[in-house]
Structure 1
Amino acid sequence: MFSNRLFNIVVPIVSVLLGLIVGAIIMLFFGYNPIEGYLALWNGAFGNMYFFGETIRQTIPLILTGLAVAFAFRTGLFNIGAEGQVFVGWVSAVWVGISFDLPAIIHLPLAILVAAFAGALWGFIPGFLKATRGVHEVIVTIMLNYTALYSSNYLIRNVLSEGGDRTEPIAETASLRTAWLSETFGYSQVHWGFVVAILMAVLMWFLLEKTTYGYELRAVGFNEHAANYAGISVKKSIIVSMMISGAFAGIAGAMEGLGTFRYIYTHASFTNLGFDGIAVALLGANTALGSSLAALLFGSLKVGSLRMPPLSGVPSELVEIVIAVIIFFVASSYLIRWVTLRLKKGEK
């Protein structure tokens, strides 16, 4: 147990350090100053209250999509459809935000709950097909990403607006942004979604680690046959796991619709929030705390990279290379460990 925990702590830290070192080497190779580049990155993410607020804002949906992917992984499933679940959650939250005239104490929670339900419903489809027909969830979730993208675009143009490419803004009673919070963080787009993200991380930790039902979900992930022998309903667990995972991603979409933008627009391609969630979960060792910290790292890298070209001349695309290298080292470490364990079992 201790070795597993130690491994899950050391691997991400070493991978991040190696990623930054490789990034510095690349900067030197192309004639840039890595110290200036990383200082610009730091200042762009935490240099003042505005940049700090933008970093928090960027981190919020990454925490939630990371939790979505991590929850599925912990229960033996691969949710590659968090991207689509973000879309359906986003469009559902905005629909509630512009369609109802309710007090804020009802309007805002209702919009978030509807987004969570939409994401859960989108997660139900691959969960049901896997549980009842044995269809692999990776295939179904990837296809549902495209279904969600084009369906949401259709709804925006034909239902939520009069042929336009974006909806009208949501009502103030459904907004996560407040003048006080924005002013405190240098008039950035930060919003109260960071409280929602923290609560969801605590909820995932409590559900998986402190409840009997969470233990059953994890047991199915470890060994379906043993879980079934112990009297656990494997089919029900698979469906519920995918629904909870989808709900997390749906709430991530709500954070974009109710907080960052306060409307939804048609997308020509994916937002990459769901796919970034895979990297966040991987770096965070599929834990609630680890995924939250990984999301903060990725959020700061993405926001800070915008200041690298004007302050140091380093192209912002370098950060994508650093992130890719970090993911590579994390994945390689887990792959090496998996192969080692398999060889040890073979020797026995």
Structure 2
Amino acid sequence: MSLHLSSPTTSSLTKDAAALQPELTQLRHALHAQPEIGLHLPGTQERVLAWLDGLGYELIPGKGLSSVTAVLRGTAEVTGPRRTVLLRADMDALPVQEATGLPYSSRIDGAMHACGHDLHTTMLAGAATLLADRRHEVAGDVVLMFQPGEEGHDGARIMIEEGVLDASGRRAESAFGVHVTSALAPCGTVMSRPGATMGAADGLFVTVRGAGGHGSKPSTALDPVPVAAEMVTALQSLLTRRIDIFDPAVLTVGVFRAGTQRNIIPDTATFEASLRSFSRETGDRLERIVPELIHGVAAAHGMTADVEYRREFPLTFSDSTEHSTAREVAVDLFGDHRHVTMPHPLAASEDFSLVLEQVPGAFVFLAATPPGA
């Protein structure tokens, strides 16, 4: 379901958006200079609320996080059931030290908008103004989802629990999200694909339990370090021998810890890994066979292992009908040359996938590649 506007209005959208550019640039620079991490973004929330003030939205601040839900009631005549479209922007930054030297560089030590969420927030703020100016042409309702905590803090799940999908008084029929990229295509290119758009993400947490001892006498101990290392290697082989090569998975061990001193065999070794998959079937298979392998390797060495396999974010899946709507809008506004159908999904994950599990929609990418890069 899309908010179809008349051709004259559609053709004026880019002109009106361009007129907003100076204000939007100021907003984006302000957001970039004051990044906030996690679920609680009071300064960002305040800026969003200030932008929306006076535009005629019903505003619902979050309870367990600094979110903003804004509902626009379209006033065009509705034939048939009244429908709702949800548009989402994430707002949180990353724990990264900025060293760009830009005049609007981060003023918060150890925090930076390095993933483009300041752009997302600004784009949705601009869309809020354009939609408010055209409420008389909108046959239905629009819900704007300004979300904190996308970077691993479960912000989408919390907003869903607080009712964002039903904020208009009925369940949203369609949901759309946008993410900028700093590569992949020339600046201004819209990229999308039907079906799997981004990978599912799971977390693996392992503790191998041995028996400590002196480094000179490993035969009197149970050394968990080589066993944990064997598990890491075996997991990579698992992906090539137990997973369909045409429905692949990606595993990265990002944490490995053991011991306190080079001549002491520790009691335990731990590691953590991220797993990505591109179908529900492969995700389910990984959840079953990965713990089996780890327990088997531990048992082969007379040890045990604690294994937690955590299903974190599902596939970001774009509904074919809603993807077609998103593509048509991009082509209508910017021309066919500005849209690219992605040949395969991105391996990264997105918590907007939790919205798309419940509401058909699409997730698209906008290239913000620096000129000449």
Larger strand proportion, structure 1 or 2? 2
- Greater RCO (Cα-Cα under 8 Å, separation 6 or more): 1
Which TM-score band applies after superposition, normalised by the shorter structure?
A: under 0.3
